[in-house]
Structure 1
Amino acid sequence: MTLSDDTSLKWLTGRCILLVSPQPWDHLPISKHHYAEALAERNTVAFLQPPVSTLKPGTVVATESGINGISLISWTPFTPKILRFHAYGLYKWFIGREARQIGKAIGVDGKPDLLWCFDFNTFPDLRAFGATRVIYHPVDPLSDHKQARIGKTADLILSVSNRILTSFDGMLDLPPRHLVNHGIGSAFTNLARSPAFPRKDGPIRCGYFGNMDRAVIDGNLIAATVAAQNGVEFHFWGPITKISPLAPLRSAPNCIFHGTVPKDALARAAADMDCFLVAYRADARESDLSNAHKLLEYFATGRTVIATPMDCYRDDPELLAMSSSSDLETFITHVAETFASLSTLNADTPAARRKAVALEHTYERNIARIDALLAVRDA
């Protein structure tokens, strides 16, 4: 993923950026990884991973990621985790000292230029890192006021849904809050820029990809859909274990599980689908049904996306074929009606619209938007 030469960035160029991720670098690539790669085109990025138990307490170790401009930071905190739940004031003080040590180890002249934090649990005070500027960027629901109060220690609060941003309502002395949608990486950006592929002969092919172990997936609804549409091929990509809500479908005759594949291969395979399926249920930790990252990647194919109710695109049925409810009978009927209308829904005009929406939210464009927000803060 490359920022084009004509992308003018005022702030996010030549900086030392410490990115705090709640997922490790070897996790299935998601927004934190994609932002790190895009930022590394013009900056140096230190990717702070979640704590590990394999180092001596208080140790911070930097290693190479294999990608130019990105180093990986592994660490084992000296601060006992139990303090976070039973002595929060002490936890905040001790973990703040460790944050300062990390900041000094990473930054130029003892401090990073920018702290970009996606983690809403580990560090109560983001100022402790000593960065010149701080972004707090929760992309999952905030479940308590302590997670929201972290925003008071930032210069900008960003999120992917207005519902998450309302978690900060009523708090005083907050920095500006801004909605920045999910992004798509280079593989799906290239797919969105290409004309939609002609439909392959054969049965309807419906796709789903992502981490299939997530509790937010409505496995019962998807299983009922698969059973009701036994003439449709359902293709799944991504990691899956026995705890997955979709694990029972591995023996279904019309379901094909491809495992985890590189993004380029996934984009090529996605282009052969006729439609995609998103069926979520509310989960306090993982989803408030306000937005979903995979929607933009699905839009990049130009194909129809069938979904259970969520906040985003609710009033745009051409863009997202959303069911009126998650009731089993209602959803099954909605899926059947959508399958019957795929030739119309996948026509050139709606397909081009979906691709255009995806291209509005490349990581490069998101970074340009965020760069402008940082520049305003410095004005």
Structure 2
Amino acid sequence: MIADRTIICLASGWDYHPTSKHHVMRKLAERNQVLWVNWHASRCPRLNLGDLHSIVSKIGQIGQGPRQAVESLTVLTPPQIPLPGSPLIRKLNAAIVRRAINKVLKRLPPRPVQLWSFAPDIGELVGGFDEELVLYYCVDAFGEFPGYDRALIERCERELMDQCDLVITTSPPLYETRRQWHPRVHLVKHGVDHARLSRAVHESLPIPASLKGLPHPILGFVGVIGEWVDLDMVAGLARRLPDASIVMIGPEKISRGPCRGLSNIHWLGNKAHEELPSYLRYFDVGLIPFRDVPLTYYANPIKLFEYLAAGVPVVSSPLPVIKPIPGMIWLADDMASAVDGCRQACNDNSPAARQQRSQLMLAESWTARLDQIAEQVNAAIKDRRTVKVDAAMPSSTVRMEMRSA
């Protein structure tokens, strides 16, 4: 258990679509004080409406100062200059962010500090808070995201790992690569908010207004609609299953492209995580239509666990972390298998089957995941203290111990 700590979390926007880092920090905030620092200096902005909107939003958040998002969780958005290729600017950003964090820390009750980073490029901040632990929580191959400088991100990531005490990875490919760079790397897969999402199985939730009147089967997707989403597969399903309704929930970061003009695809925009059980209850299939690109090769989609916890069968593109499971997960190697998988999933979707899927996700809770991480955190802190004691021991004492041994 991790308790009675102040945890500084470096991550992308708190107000962004909920991801694993949001769940982890909400859970840690139950027993600790969490300071979530919005880190937005990893790439240069692009000339598009999405980045312009993000810049305006960040300026507004900077003006707000520290704000309490939930109990024991404070969100801070320090000003940063998004020019990661400049060493001088990176040092300036680090100085600004360090000063802003320390200003907030002075207002909090004194507790041991831990630094957790979901960003790979915050090495300049390490050591600035007298932290008892530095943890790098690696959830993606960040250099593969559009707009990121792959070589720069990898160099920064290695510099961070050289300074941290512990590395947590969330997929086997991330684990296999990162364990070559650090002696203490562990694989901890994503968890799921089972108590919330299983309501889709156990409760008679009202149908959301945006789903009323849509013909079944409903094939649904929940998540960020970014460059990694295979809209060709989505469009192909819409054409080959014209009687089905395809529902896309999440912020749109790319053009609808091949899906334009297809009347049975419904774009519902972003929904609060609290609303998801009501939508998932009426999904007949949960879709994970990912393109075959390096970014998705390293991914471990949290939506897989969320669909299953809600009892929804899954049809997914083949990913290293996802294996077919009869009655639960069908893999779509091509359009024919995607269509066939959706049909089979719809035919294996009784209330009993949905209940069984949800039940199997009970062991995958975020509490269970944090227990795994806590064990490694405590071991890393113990090792760090041992190293400090050894370093502080007079050389004559060391020689005497060596002779007595």
TM-score (norm 2): 0.75
User: 1:70-81 maps to which residues of 2 (within 5 A)?
Assistant: 70-77=73-80, 81=82
Provide the aligned length of Structure 1 versus Structure 2. 348
Equivalent position amino acid for 1:151 in 2: M
User: 1:1-379 maps to which residues of 2 (within 5 A)?
Assistant: 9=1, 12-21=2-11, 23-51=12-40, 62-77=65-80, 81-82=82-83, 84-87=84-87, 90=88, 94-98=92-96, 100-107=98-105, 113-124=113-124, 126-143=126-143, 144-171=154-181, 174-185=182-193, 188-191=196-199, 194=202, 203-212=216-225, 214-240=226-252, 243-244=254-255, 246=256, 248-249=258-259, 251-284=261-294, 286-288=295-297, 290-314=299-323, 316-323=325-332, 325=333, 331-342=334-345, 345-347=348-350, 351-379=354-382
CA contact (8 A) 1:208 1:235 kept: yes
Rg larger in 1 or in 2? 2
Equivalent position amino acid for 1:312 in 2: V
CA contact (8 A) 2:7 2:115 kept: yes
Q: Deviations over 1:179-217 (max 9, x none)?
A: 1112323664443773899xx9963111111122x1000
Following the alignment from structure 2 to structure 1, what is the Cα–Cα distance between the partners of residues 90 and 262? 50
| CA distance 1:92–1:247, change in 2 (3 Å) | closer
| CA distance 1:310–1:135, change in 2 (3 Å) | same
Equivalent position amino acid for 1:127 in 2: G
Helix, strand or coil at the partner of 1:306: strand
Equivalent position amino acid for 2:133 in 1: R
| CA distance 1:95–1:272, change in 2 (3 Å) | same
| CA distance 1:186–1:46, change in 2 (3 Å) | farther
Following the alignment from structure 1 to structure 2, what is the Cα–Cα distance between the partners of residues 357 and 215? 31
Q: Could you list the runs of 5+ residues in structure 1 that have no partner in the other structure?
A: 1-8, 326-330
| CA distance 1:66–1:377, change in 2 (3 Å) | closer
| CA distance 1:253–1:137, change in 2 (3 Å) | same
Over aligned residue pairs, what C-alpha RMSD do you find? 3.4
Following the alignment from structure 2 to structure 1, what is the Cα–Cα distance between the partners of residues 162 and 326? 37
Counting aligned pairs with the same residue, the percent is: 20
* Partner of residue 395, structure 2: none
Q: Could you list the runs of 5+ residues in structure 2 that have no partner in the other structure?
A: 42-54, 144-153, 206-211, 383-405
Helix, strand or coil at the partner of 2:138: coil
CA contact (8 A) 2:29 2:71 kept: yes
Following the alignment from structure 2 to structure 1, what is the Cα–Cα distance between the partners of residues 178 and 111? 28
TM-score (norm 1): 0.79
Q: Which segment drifts farther, 47-56 or 250-259?
A: 47-56
| CA distance 1:253–1:344, change in 2 (3 Å) | closer
